[in-house]
Amino acid sequence: MNLFEETSSEKNLLPYDGEVYYYGKIMGNQQANLYLKTLLETIDWKHDEAIIFGKHITTKRMVAWYGDEPYEYMYSKITKKALPWTAPLLELKRLTESETGETFNSCLLNLYHNGDEGMSWHSDAERDLKKDGAIASLSFGAERKFSFKHKQTKETISTFLENGSLLLMKGTTQSNWLHRLPPTKKVVTPRVNLTFRTIV
């Protein structure tokens, strides 16, 4: 590789109005597979709930919420209370902080059992989250497509999130861009995603 070439974590995936850096795999497959197994077995997974058009919805996707303190986090009109960090989560938080140079105080976890499950267009800009705070996303298991769409221009940018990979969203990304994890018939195995965040 050309020494002067930017590494992928230095290249902003977004053309304007935000910053997204994909670090690629930050660990080998063996270690990533072990984390997937550990997280599947030790996290207090619950089906995600939301109030949509006044109706109480329970999704197939499962979620969990951990943090430094029992923070309350409101999203999709449901309030969640953060559980105390587990040892593997603290390990992953420290790894993510050292890779990105950012700090985080909480983590939202998502479990997608297969490609039927995804997450629709949204931005992570709830009131409880630090405004324009960095959000770091760690992925384990099935590789899935991840897309961004600009709120005004509708320009779309996509990337693939590999097993054991790290993605960082920062700056004005959440104010100007939506993101989603599209469902796909091609994926039949689970994926676990961790988003490290800062609650204020």
Which residues contribute to the site for ligand AKG (CB under 6 A)? 108, 110, 119, 124, 137, 146, 161, 179, 181, 193, 195
Tokens 């709830």 -> residue: 126
Using the minimum distance from each CB to ligand AKG, give the nearer residue, 6 or 185.
185
**Nearest distance, CB of residue 90 and ligand AKG, angstroms:** 19
Using the minimum distance from each CB to ligand AKG, give the nearer residue, 38 or 129.
129
Q: Please give the span between the terminal C-alpha atoms of the chain, in angstroms, as a whole number.
A: 42
**Nearest distance, CB of residue 155 and ligand AKG, angstroms:** 19
Using the minimum distance from each CB to ligand AKG, give the nearer residue, 38 or 194.
194
Using the minimum distance from each CB to ligand AKG, give the nearer residue, 106 or 137.
137
- 124 binds Mn ion per the rule CB under 5 A: yes
Name the one range near Mn ion by CB under 5 A: 13-21, 88-96, 116-124, 165-173. 116-124
Name the one range near Mn ion by CB under 5 A: 43-51, 79-87, 103-111, 122-130. 122-130
Using the minimum distance from each CB to ligand AKG, give the nearer residue, 38 or 148.
148
**Nearest distance, CB of residue 3 and Mn ion, angstroms:** 35
Closest CA to 119 of 162, 76, 156, 85: 76
Helices 87-100 and 29-42, packing angle to 10 deg: 140
**Structural Rg of the chain based on CA atoms:** 16
Q: Tokens representing 172?
A: 């004005």
**Nearest distance, CB of residue 80 and ligand AKG, angstroms:** 12
**Nearest distance, CB of residue 81 and Mn ion, angstroms:** 20
Beta carbons of 68 and 106 less than 8 angstroms apart: yes
Where are the extended beta strands (E) located within 38-143? Answer: 46-52, 55-67, 72-75, 78-81, 83-84, 106-112, 119-122, 135-141
**Chain positions contacting Mn ion, by CB under 5 A:** 124
